[in-house]
Amino acid sequence: MSATRDSERIETQVEQAEQASKTVDESRVVMARSMQPPDANVWGNVHGGAIMRLVDEAGGAVAVRHARRPCVTVAMDSMTFKQPAYIGDLLTVTACLTYTGHTSMEVEAHIEAENLLTGNKRNVGTSYLVYVALDENGHPTPVQPLTPHTDEERARWRAAEARRARRAR
């Protein structure tokens, strides 16, 4: 095969690989909900479980958007609540894909609480979740690869690989 035809073949393969992969922006989700009395304890602090539910809903939407398959949560890293959220706050979860394995995907979720009366915003915390895409029989099925395009996305991918190695250990 000539050098020209060889480089054309490689270019075609790269193009096909890029078409088969998806970007971080394609599946990013921003989910917001105002915190109500049932979400909180008697002092008005929002329960950690209520926050984690919204985080899991947003993360799950990211995974399904990427895979276009039903997905289940297989892991949720330990979470530290840096600042409290209160009844009346608008809780916003911004979630995006950091990494794709063969059948699994890692999602990073940032949680922010906003006092709607004052506009004061608090960083509640960050969480990492792993989802697995399922086939018709409920078995793990391959997902399209994610292509990180920016330096930030590449850094997130590397950090996700390190977390994946830690979880495997």
Ligand X SMILES: CC(C)(COP(=O)(O)OP(=O)(O)OC[C@H]1O[C@@H](n2cnc3c(N)ncnc32)[C@H](O)[C@@H]1OP(=O)(O)O)[C@@H](O)C(=O)NCCC(=O)NCCS
The minimum distance between CB 137 and ligand X, in angstroms, equals 11
Q: Characterise 18 by phi-psi region: left (phi > 0), alpha (psi -120 to 50), beta (else).
A: alpha
Write the CB contacts of 59 (distance below 8 Å, at least 6 apart in sequence). Answer: 73, 95, 107, 109, 127, 129, 131
CB 54 within 8 A of CB 34: no
Spatial separation of the C-alpha atoms in residues 127 and 90, rounded to whole Å: 18
Distance CA 101, CA 74 (A): 13
Q: Which is nearer to ligand X, 54 or 85 (CB)?
A: 54
- Which is closer to ligand X, CB of 92 or CB of 103? 103
Task: Provide, rounded to whole angstroms, the least separation between the CB of residue 85 and ligand X.
Answer: 23
Question: Closest Cα partner for 99 from 137, 165, 57, 145?
Answer: 145
Nearer to ligand X, 35 or 133 (CB): 133
Closest residue to ligand X: CB criterion: 101
Residue placing its CB nearer to ligand X in the complex, 67 or 132:
132
Give, for 129, the enclosing helix (H) or strand (E): strand 121-133
Nearer to ligand X, 96 or 132 (CB): 132
- Chain residues binding ligand X by CB under 6 A are 72-75, 101-104, 130, 132, 140, 167
CA distances from 103 to 39, 70, 131 (A): 33, 12, 8
